[in-house]
């Protein structure tokens, strides 16, 4: 399986002025983690760190997300060092990420392996098409970083597991360390370089603490960087990460899809404030994003467009929504803003991106609050109307304020009412005189008064 590699740029930080971005991943790997690593690599580039240190403890993850993260690691302009902490595991998808990292280490009691893929039914996948694909993926990444290709294959075909000592002796990791400080102290003696053999490019570590010369293209000289004294910054995932992780939870996905389906069915088959279909539509889109049918970027655009359309419809079409469309629009835009992940190619300050995201979210919340207030006032007005003996309105006359086709708005006894035209009499145009023939709850059923 071919892997596209972009040259990792050599860092030019002054000696002793090095920095490390430390990322902790202590759960399964999915769509949220895939998008998180876009932000991790972007943040690392923009802040000029010399190393991304991933502390990993995971039972595995989805094939699609793990594969995407492996590609991100391979193409990262900043070296990625994956470390399994004391007693931690990097089973299945975690081992794939470790093998895709430029540098790898384990602590005492850590374990990696058991990489045979498993189907949705929980049973191991055995067909050669899938097995050969993931074996090729694992082996190519092992080859890329000068690691044991045979053991890389055995992780999948034999479900082999190894600890730290076996991992080091069999050349699938480069370091054993029980703490970050010990890890960086060991790394301080080495440089990471590109080498080439038989037309194949691969990364390798060479000892530079003693001043020994080396061949190959330098990626990072950790001795000159004094990496053991580096400033370590903990990466804190954004609210986007936690939101995406929440909506991709299988239980949450099923709830959203159920609410979405029933909301649309109930809303489209009953006459009400249209709240059911609004909630149902939003829930359905979120559910489809969570299940992976709609991508995050596409889903964010869809929600934003729906939100904008709801606002326009609320303003332009006065057909009894009473603020519900505008509230739904605000919710859509607020949710869409939570999906915003800074692009790797979007060169600006991380603080600006964070500010822009919160600004969009804040504006959406303000819209929700504003139109919620309007909706409350409308409902209060309706409750006041309900205190009247509305049956006395039968036979009363008024005029059309908003064209009835068949629903619209009328003015009767100096008050505005939602109304529907008697079947066969619509459309009834604005300004046309009407007569109330029946009252259905708080809605009037009217007919035109013949000239």
Query: For all residues of the chain together, what is the average pLDDT?
Result: 83
Structure tokens that stand for 43 in this block = 């943040």
- Look at residue 430 and tell me whether its pLDDT is greater than 60: yes
Q: Residue 395's closest CA among 446, 433, 450, 430? A: 446
In CATH, what number is assigned to the domain containing residue 396?
2.40.50.140
Specify the DSSP element, H or E, that contains 154: helix 149-157
For 18-53, the pLDDT digits (tens) are 999 999 999 999 999 999 999 999 999 999 999 999
The total number of structural domains that make up the chain: 3
Q: What's the CATH number where 191 sits?
A: 3.90.226.10
Place of tokens 């590609």: 71
DSSP-assigned beta bridge partners for residue 53:
22, 81
Q: Answer yes or no: do 66 and 205 share one domain.
A: yes
Is 105 in the same domain as 116?
yes
Q: What's the rounded Cα separation, in Å, for the pair 249 and 259?
A: 15
- Domain extent, residue 412, equals 390-448
Residue-level pLDDT at 22: 97
Q: What is the pLDDT of residue 7?
A: 35
Task: Judge contact between 55 and 24, C-beta under 8 A.
Answer: yes
| DSSP alpha helix (H) spans, 15-62 | 31-47
Please check whether residue 3 lies inside any domain of the structure: no
* Residue 356 covered by a domain: yes
Mean pLDDT of 135-160: 96
Mark whether 126 and 244 lie in a shared domain.
Answer: no
Q: Is the pLDDT of residue 378 over 90?
A: no
- What pLDDT is stored for residue 415 in this prediction? 82
Q: For 89-133, what is each residue's pLDDT tens digit?
A: 999 999 999 999 999 999 999 999 999 998 877 788 899 999 999
Range with lowest mean pLDDT among 145-149, 178-182, 226-230, 313-317: 313-317
On whether the pTM is more than 0.75, the answer is no
Q: 251 and 158, same structural domain? A: no
SS3 state at 410: strand
Token code pair at residue 10: 């050599």
- Give pLDDT, residue 377: 58
Dump pLDDT digits (tens) for 152-210: 999 999 999 999 999 999 999 999 999 999 999 999 999 999 988 877 889 999 988 66
Question: DSSP letter at 356?
Answer: H
Dump strand ranges (E) for 212-300: 217-221, 231-234
Q: Are both 351 and 394 inside the same structural domain?
A: no
Q: Do residues 217 and 192 touch, judged by C-beta distance below 8 A?
A: no
């Amino acid at each position: 399986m071919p892997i596209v590699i972009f040259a990792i740029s050599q860092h030019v930080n002054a000696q002793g002025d090095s920095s490390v971005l430390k990322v902790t991943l202590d759960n399964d790997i999915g769509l949220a983690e895939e998008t998180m690593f876009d932000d991790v690599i972007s943040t690392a580039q923009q802040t000029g760190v010399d190393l991304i240190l991933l502390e990993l403890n995971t039972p595995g993850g989805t094939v699609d997300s793990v594969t995407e993260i492996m590609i991100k690691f391979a193409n990262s302009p900043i070296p990625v060092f994956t470390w399994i902490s004391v007693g931690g595991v990097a089973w299945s998808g975690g081992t794939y990420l470790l093998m895709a990292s430029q540098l790898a280490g384990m602590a005492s009691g850590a374990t990696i392996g058991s990489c045979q893929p498993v189907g949705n039914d929980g049973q191991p996948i055995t067909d050669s098409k899938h097995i050969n694909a993931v074996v090729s993926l694992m082996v190519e990444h092992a080859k890329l970083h000068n690691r044991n290709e045979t053991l890389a294959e055995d992780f999948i075909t034999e479900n082999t597991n190894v600890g730290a000592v076996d991992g080091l002796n069999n050349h699938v990791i480069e370091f054993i360390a029980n703490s970050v400080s010990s890890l960086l102290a060991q790394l301080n003696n080495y440089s990471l370089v590109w080498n080439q053999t038989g037309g194949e490019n691969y990364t390798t570590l060479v000892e530079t603490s003693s001043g020994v010369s080396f061949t190959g293209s330098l990626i990072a000289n950790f001795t000159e960087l004094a990496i053991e004294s580096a400033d370590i910054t903990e990466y804190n995932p954004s609210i986007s990460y936690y939101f995406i992780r929440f909506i991709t939870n299988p239980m949450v996905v099923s709830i959203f899809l159920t609410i979405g389906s029933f909301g649309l069915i109930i809303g489209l088959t009953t006459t009400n404030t249209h709240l059911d279909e609004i909630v149902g539509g939003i829930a359905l889109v979120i559910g489809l994003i969570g299940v992976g049918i709609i991508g995050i970027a596409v889903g964010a655009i869809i929600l934003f467009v729906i939100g904008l359309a709801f606002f326009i419809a609320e303003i332009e079409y006065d057909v009894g929504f009473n603020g519900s469309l505008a509230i739904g629009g605000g919710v859509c835009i607020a949710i869409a803003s939570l999906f915003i992940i800074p692009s790797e190619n979007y060169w600006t300050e991380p603080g600006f991106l964070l500010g822009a995201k919160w600004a969009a979210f804040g504006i959406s919340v303000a819209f929700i609050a504003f139109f919620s207030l309007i909706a409350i006032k409308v409902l209060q007005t309706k409750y006041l109307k309900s205190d009247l003996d509305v049956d006395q309105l039968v036979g009363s006359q008024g005029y059309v304020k908003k064209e009835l086709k068949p629903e619209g708005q009328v003015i009767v006894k100096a008050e505005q009412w939602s109304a529907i035209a008697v079947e066969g009499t619509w459309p009834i145009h604005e300004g046309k005189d009407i007569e109330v023939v029946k009252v259905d709850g708080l809605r009037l059923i009217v007919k035109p008064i013949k000239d």
